[in-house]
Amino acid sequence: MSARPTPQDPPATALRVERRPLAQVRAEAAAGHPPPFAALAYGATGHEPWMTGVAAHVLLAGETQADVWRAGAAVQSGTTGVVRWRTDGQWLLGVVDLSAADEAGGLEPLARRAYANVFQTLAQAGCPHLLRLWNYLPRINAEGHGLERYREFNAGRQQAFLDAGYAAFDGAPAACALGIRDGGLCVRFLAGRAPPVPVENPRQVSAYRYPERYGPRAPTFSRAALAQLGGGEVALFVSGTASIVGHETVHHGDVPAQLAETLVNLRTVVGEANRRTTARFALEDTEPVVYVRHPADAGDIRRRLAEALGAESRFMRQAVFLEADICRADLLLEIETHATAPGRLDPT
């Protein structure tokens, strides 16, 4: 019997990620360069088979950026239910793009069905471990069928994890969930053959343990995840992070204070991650997406971030600012980020 891959096992093909202007990536592909394994573009929707987008409005007149994933050269693609996927046998990038019309039966059953298809995809591809998920849904703070739509989404998502026998509590993947203006439920996910190492934030109650006042079923995500990428590199995926202490939103209506609290949370999560790997991550060297509820706040948020992290930091040079509704109506901003660094995961 062959042993299951562990977080420490180097994968057969290395995964790389780089944030770059989408126009450059497209120009290279047009010039005959090998296309990337996948690209996740912020503020664009793609037509190339390797590209998918997040249909949110880019703020501060930024150039369209894409997270460009490189993996093994032999890529297979296909469809499983509502999931379109690409895999090199080691890594898998999947995409769900639904429309408002798909919500006829409600968002909860739709989320459950979409996630059931995600888990079917993972089983078929032999890439059973979710590393990172991106969730986008329109009108996230609006009432659905007697419940806020984000809470309906949470109920369907958690049930699908339980149905599939996946960890819905400790060991959940890194994720984000944002409200965007157009379209329907939209999920992107990255999976691999070895389990990631989950990371929590001691300043915050784990999201999967939030009390019932935030909805009948808790959100399903860990604060961050570490994964071995091959080639001696480790990835850190920090989930959407906001001005929450314990389980409560703090600094209602105060953008500067929410930003400062969010930075403390981000630094705490990065510090916790560093305790579980020989790699050394610093918030300044990560590549964030900054989601802003009110576009008018974006300039102030950018100025304060530059003050805190250095205008010339990788964080500021690579930052993408997007207009989005945050999943709690009282949150004015949320920041997610990722980085890779040489190292290995500590034996567990």
Which residues have a catalytic role annotated?
334
| In the complex, residue closest to ligand 3EB by CB | 240
Answer yes or no: are the C-beta atoms of 57 and 181 closer than 8 Å.
yes
Q: Which of 90, 159, 228, 239 binds ligand 3EB (CB under 6 A)?
A: 239
* Total of chain residues touching ligand 3EB, rule CB under 6 A: 12
Q: Which of 5, 138, 192, 240 binds ligand 3EB (CB under 6 A)?
A: 240
For residue 218, the SS3 value is coil
Minimum distance from residue 60 beta carbon to ligand 3EB (Å): 22
Among 96, 123, 340, CA closest to 231: 340
Q: Which of 56, 244, 279, 301 binds ligand 3EB (CB under 6 A)?
A: 244
Phi, psi of 115 (to 5 degrees): -70, -30
Confirm or reject binding of residue 242 to ligand 3EB (CB under 6 A).
yes
Confirm or reject binding of residue 263 to ligand 3EB (CB under 6 A).
no
For residue 107, the SS3 value is helix
Q: Which of 110, 327, 335, 341 binds ligand 3EB (CB under 6 A)?
A: 327
Gyration radius from the chain CA atoms: 19
Instruction: Tell me the C-alpha distance between 43 and 27, whole Å.
Output: 18
Tokens describing residue 320: 């993408």
Instruction: Tell me the C-alpha distance between 107 and 186, whole Å.
Output: 12
Beta carbon nearer to ligand 3EB, 156 or 219: 219
Minimum distance from residue 347 beta carbon to ligand 3EB (Å): 29
Site string for ligand 3EB, 121-160 (x = CB under 6 A): --------------x-------------------------
Confirm or reject binding of residue 207 to ligand 3EB (CB under 6 A).
yes
* CA atoms in the 13 A half-sphere facing the CB of 331: 28
Residue 287 contacts by C-beta under 8 Å, 6 or more apart in sequence?
19, 67, 314, 315, 318, 319, 337, 338, 339
Instruction: Tell me the C-alpha distance between 14 and 16, whole Å.
Output: 7
Minimum distance from residue 222 beta carbon to ligand 3EB (Å): 9
Dihedral of alpha carbons 216, 142, 334, 128, sign: positive
Beta carbon nearer to ligand 3EB, 94 or 219: 219
Minimum distance from residue 173 beta carbon to ligand 3EB (Å): 9
No. of helices (H) and no. of strands (E), the chain: 6, 20
Question: Within 16-55, which residues bind ligand 3EB (CB under 6 A)?
Answer: none
Minimum distance from residue 241 beta carbon to ligand 3EB (Å): 7
Binding span for ligand 3EB by CB under 6 A among 70-78, 102-110, 163-171, 238-246 = 238-246
Question: Within 162-181, which residues bind ligand 3EB (CB under 6 A)?
Answer: 175-177
Confirm or reject binding of residue 290 to ligand 3EB (CB under 6 A).
no
Place of tokens 């995961």: 345
Phi-psi region of 215 (alpha: psi -120 to 50; beta: other; left: phi over 0): left
Instruction: Tell me the C-alpha distance between 345 and 348, whole Å.
Output: 8
Binding span for ligand 3EB by CB under 6 A among 26-34, 75-83, 235-243, 309-317 = 235-243
Which residues lie near ligand 3EB (CB under 6 A)?
135, 175-177, 207, 219, 221, 239-240, 242, 244, 327
